[in-house]
Structure 1
Amino acid sequence: MTELSGENLTRAFQILSTILNNYDHELRPGIGEKPTVVTVEVFVNSLGPLSTLDMEYSIDFIFYQTWYDEHLRYNDTFETLVLHGNVVSQLWILDTFFRNSKRTHEYDITIPNQMALIHKDGQVLYSVRMTIDARCSLHMLKFPMDSHSCPLSFSSFSYDEHEMIYKWENFKLQINEKNTWKIFKFDFPGVNNKTEIISTPVGDFMIMTFFFNVSRRFGFLVFQNYAPSSVTTMLSWVSFCIKTEATAARDSVALDFYIAICFVLCFCALLEFALLNFLTYNETKRQASPKLYHLPTSSHANTRTRARARTRARAHARARQQQEVFVCEIVTYEGNAEEEHQYCPAQWSSSSRRPQCPLL
């Protein structure tokens, strides 16, 4: 079984290499001879929501297109070859675009959601999944009993009707009924299609359009809007049954006070939030950036110590000068009774000799 699978894989690879060896994916099949006929089928995964405000709706669907390419024919026991991912880009793919789309999204998880199925007779089936937000003109003249037809138009971007022809395969539009429709306010009665030719400066193009017919759910609208409004109106009639002698109702005054108090509380809550946010921000900023204290270096300390020592020395010297008292003594020597000398002890120097002072 393993050998057989390996042989099949080798043969499939050889077939694909042979048909793509001299294949030009930029040339349309049958170019210069006949137009390419494209058969279209659509499988709708989900439809909705439908926005009456934006005048648009959303649709998720798989788009199938089938055509013949003579360059992809091969002779082998394999009936089909399945290509997906980046291999599909090696084939010629028609340039269909949706004319009334506002936004288009193609899925690429886990790989690009596209596939090409090649038959041995050259038939190619190309499928791609996408989600489109398309325009839908809503006419509200008959509201709330209005109905609408939301179109989805597509055509070739560069090939006119002489090169590209679209047709429906018995108008196959399959809808996944298991998924819940997202159009809660509308019913979905059905679909129809239309084919037309429009003239442009570059040629005449074939346009295919299918319409999703929707009608508003009157019962849903009644329970959502009309019933609450009617009940509120009837409750207001209770005041008509009150006697004229009774005290007038104060509902309106109480309601005004209630609304005013609610407004004040909401405003105070906003102020509290702003104040707490401001205080929290400042506290966080202060903790994140602490103050830096510069410790004195040894050189700075020595300089200040020497300065204080000099200051104390000068102060001590001034104090000694203020406290000194100069005392002079009269000394009489024996050799000469008349000779007297005066000396001042306070002015003695460090030497043993006393300074001599003149007589007064």
Structure 2
Amino acid sequence: MLPKVLVLLLGIFVIIQSRVEGPQPASKKEASAHNDVFYGPEPQPLGRKLLSEETKPTATGTGRPVGKLPEASRILNTILSNYDHKLRPGIGEKPTVVTVEISVNSLGPLSIMDMEYTIDIIFCQTWYDERLRYNDTFETLVLNGNVVSQLWIPDTFFRNSKKTQEHEITMPNQMVRIHKDGKVLYTIRMTIDAGCSLHMLKFPMDSHSCPLSFSSFSYPESEMIYKWENFKLEINEKNSWKLFQFDFTGVSNKTEIVSTPAGDFMVMTLFFNVSRRFGYVAFQNYVPSSVTTMLSWVSFWIKKECASARTSLGITSVLTMTTLGTFSRKNFPRVSYITALDFYIAICFVFCFCALLEFAVLNFLTYNQTKARASPKLRHPPLGSRAHARIRARARARASQQQEGFVCEVVTSEGSDGEERLSCSAQRSPSPGSPQGPRSLFSKLTCCEWCKKYFCMVPDCKGSTWQQGRLCIHIYRLDDYSQVVFPVAFFLFNVLYWLVCLNL
């Protein structure tokens, strides 16, 4: 009986000792069995090591915990326990003052056709909420976007936005920072497609101010006031802005009160000033139209006998200017007024059309003059010199008895080329009762009163004293005149055009 009791006590003693000392190390035999798998120092159990590090005591000599997480949770639970996020701070007592600060990440592109622009900003709003005050060692509590729904946030909206996108990758890009004195900072990142009314009257030398306007949606001026803190606006110009055809020239702001049926609201407006880059439009519109206008002047150096060449060149120039005017409006908003570019292309079209019209006038006068001279030869047989002398004497006698007038006759020049020309001389026009023989319209042409007072379109305008001081225009020298008049007129137009457009 005694041996059995001793064996039982020994077993109990072994069990108690094994529980107190913990698991015993593996035997040398088991360790040697693993020598062919592991090299170097014996590996330690990873899970057991991490567990021991996590549960390592952090108590100080007084026994109080050093970690701040429980304390921050206690503060947050305390200030939110009796907090109503549906009511604004200071309701019924004073208006809530919201300070705004904007950081611009990127600006552009600016769409001319849709009259809108895209802007990526970080929008910061700061206000004081006395309900969120606390007294502790924490200066601020930084919270992510998941806590935003538990706090009162200003209902700010952008009045001229067409589309707004809030970024949510990888988490909602929102942040709330609560200070111990009740100051709240709310930051959110968003991309806005905002409308921008473009005044294209001076296009392409135009400058624009694209607004970004925001206000409260439900709180009037008596309940919420916006203000800039020394107008802080951070512009990150190092980023690649997508303005393309524009240059950023600066920023300005404006504060106004807008009256609506719901009340008077404070509206804050930020203006981004941009100016158009001139190079693209110059190479796409001004250079082709100017070159086409100058090419139409080549017809002045082509002989008038080459009617087909001059006509084809003139028509091609006119059609080219028409095409340029159409394509300049293709990627352009359909405004109801004429822009500076439209005016320039229209003047170039007029120059090309006048170059074609000049040849038409020259060819018309030359053709009818030749026809008028050829018709008397068929009606009157050739006479001797004595017969010509008698006819001229009779004509001079009749002219001395008739009223003086201004007529143009077809004569043959004495030059080597034998060119047919018109000659103006002072003669007596027949009385109403005197008989008149059949005359060709272009062999003897009576000019109108204002025409004979100021100029004479004939090769030689020498005559009586009443013709002195008139402007004599040689119809056969229209090409010579055009070679000087057209380039000079176009040069003066360009000087005046650019002075007006660049100085306005």
Counterpart residue number, 2:262: 202
Counterpart residue number, 1:76: 136
**Hey, what's the Cα distance between the residues in 2 that align with 1:129 and 1:178?**
18
Q: Flag the 1:181–1:230 CA change in 2: closer, same or farther, 3 A.
A: farther
Counterpart residue number, 1:23: 83
Q: Is the 8 A contact 1:116 1:124 kept in 2?
A: yes
**Hey, what's the Cα distance between the residues in 2 that align with 1:118 and 1:235?**
73
Bigger drift between 159-168 and 186-195 goes to 186-195
> Residue 7 in 1 paired to residue 80 in 2?
no
Deviations 1:183-242 (A, max 9, x none): 121121111111111112221111111111111122342234333554566667778777
**Hey, what's the Cα distance between the residues in 1 that align with 2:290 and 2:236?**
38
Task: Look up the equivalent residue of 2:159 and give its one-letter code.
Answer: R
Deviations 1:259-278 (A, max 9, x none): xxxxxxxxxxxxxxxxxxxx
**Hey, what's the Cα distance between the residues in 2 that align with 1:197 and 1:16?**
37
Counterpart residue number, 1:120: 180
**Hey, what's the Cα distance between the residues in 2 that align with 1:218 and 1:105?**
33
Work out which of the two has the higher radius of gyration on C-alpha atoms and give 1 or 2.
1
How do 1:32-71 residues align onto structure 2 when only pairs under 5 Å count? Answer: 32-71=92-131
Q: Is the 8 A contact 1:185 1:217 kept in 2?
A: yes
> Residue 182 in 1 paired to residue 238 in 2?
no
Task: Look up the equivalent residue of 1:135 and give its one-letter code.
Answer: G
Q: Flag the 1:88–1:189 CA change in 2: closer, same or farther, 3 A.
A: same
**Hey, what's the Cα distance between the residues in 1 that align with 2:83 and 2:58?**
30
1:90 pairs with one of 139, 150, 170: 150
Counterpart residue number, 1:281: none
Q: Is the 8 A contact 2:145 2:176 kept in 1?
A: no
1:139 pairs with one of 173, 193, 199: 199
SS at match of 2:73: helix
Deviations 1:8-59 (A, max 9, x none): 1111111111111111111100111111000001001111111111111111
Q: Flag the 1:47–1:78 CA change in 2: closer, same or farther, 3 A.
A: same
**Hey, what's the Cα distance between the residues in 2 that align with 1:161 and 1:73?**
26
**Hey, what's the Cα distance between the residues in 2 that align with 1:33 and 1:89?**
24
More helix by share: 2
**Hey, what's the Cα distance between the residues in 2 that align with 1:29 and 1:228?**
64
Deviations 1:124-161 (A, max 9, x none): 01011111111111111112211111111110011111
Counterpart residue number, 1:350: none
Q: Is the 8 A contact 2:86 2:152 kept in 1?
A: yes
Counterpart residue number, 1:276: none
**Hey, what's the Cα distance between the residues in 2 that align with 1:224 and 1:121?**
61
Counterpart residue number, 1:212: 272
How do 1:258-273 residues align onto structure 2 when only pairs under 5 Å count? Answer: none
* TM-score, normalised relative to structure 2: 0.46
**Hey, what's the Cα distance between the residues in 2 that align with 1:202 and 1:113?**
32
Q: Is the 8 A contact 1:29 1:69 kept in 2?
A: yes
**Hey, what's the Cα distance between the residues in 2 that align with 1:60 and 1:228?**
38
Where structure 2 has 5 or more consecutive residues not aligned to the other structure, the ranges are 1-55, 60-64, 314-504
Deviation at 1:163, TM superposition (A): 0.6
SS at match of 1:7: coil
* TM-score, normalised relative to structure 1: 0.64
> Residue 103 in 1 paired to residue 166 in 2?
no
SS at match of 2:114: coil
More RCO (CA 8 Å, sep 6+): 1
Task: Look up the equivalent residue of 2:238 and give its one-letter code.
Answer: K
More strand by share: 1
Task: Look up the equivalent residue of 2:96 and give its one-letter code.
Answer: T
Task: Look up the equivalent residue of 1:211 and give its one-letter code.
Answer: F
RMSD over aligned Cα atoms: 2.7
Where structure 1 has 5 or more consecutive residues not aligned to the other structure, the ranges are 253-360
Task: Look up the equivalent residue of 1:156 and give its one-letter code.
Answer: S
Task: Look up the equivalent residue of 1:18 and give its one-letter code.
Answer: T
The count of aligned residue pairs is: 252
**Hey, what's the Cα distance between the residues in 2 that align with 1:76 and 1:242?**
96
**Hey, what's the Cα distance between the residues in 1 that align with 2:199 and 2:107?**
20
Counterpart residue number, 1:292: none
> Residue 164 in 1 paired to residue 224 in 2?
yes
**Hey, what's the Cα distance between the residues in 1 that align with 2:300 and 2:85?**
82
Deviation at 1:181, TM superposition (A): 2.1
Q: Flag the 1:184–1:203 CA change in 2: closer, same or farther, 3 A.
A: same
Q: Is the 8 A contact 1:138 1:148 kept in 2?
A: yes
**Hey, what's the Cα distance between the residues in 1 that align with 2:247 and 2:227?**
28
Q: Is the 8 A contact 1:185 1:221 kept in 2?
A: no
Deviation at 1:64, TM superposition (A): 0.5
